[in-house]
Amino acid sequence: MYKLEPTTQFKKDFKSIPKNKHAEIEKAFDILSDIGTLPFVPYKTHKLIGNYSGHYEAHIEPDLLIIWFKILENNVISLTRIGSHSKLFDK
């Protein structure tokens, strides 16, 4: 079991997510806290490079992403960001 710890930035990002998306996000949180990652199918989970090197990204929806960092020794997952591609990667 992993403990999910949202960063301050994640909390700010989450406030801008429409409430009708929260159920799908909570489902992903449950999986993430249980197994420490999200499966590739359907989330397209992968490691990131560049500014988010060492972090993981998954698609909750085609343009709703979650970025996290896993701290193995404490079984903690730091929820880093959530939002659209353009919001998270300035595209």
pTM of the model: 0.93
* Separation of alpha carbons 4 and 6, rounded Å: 6
Residue 76 has pLDDT above 60, yes or no: yes
Architecture of the domain delimited by 3-89: 2-Layer Sandwich (3.30)
Write down the pLDDT at residue 91: 57
Ordered by start, the domain boundaries in the chain are 3-89
What would the DSSP string read from start to end of 46-64? EE--GGGTT-EEEEEETTE
Burial class (CB in 10 A: 0-12, 13-18, 19+), 58: buried
Please report, rounded to a whole number, the percentage of residues in the chain having pLDDT higher than 90: 87
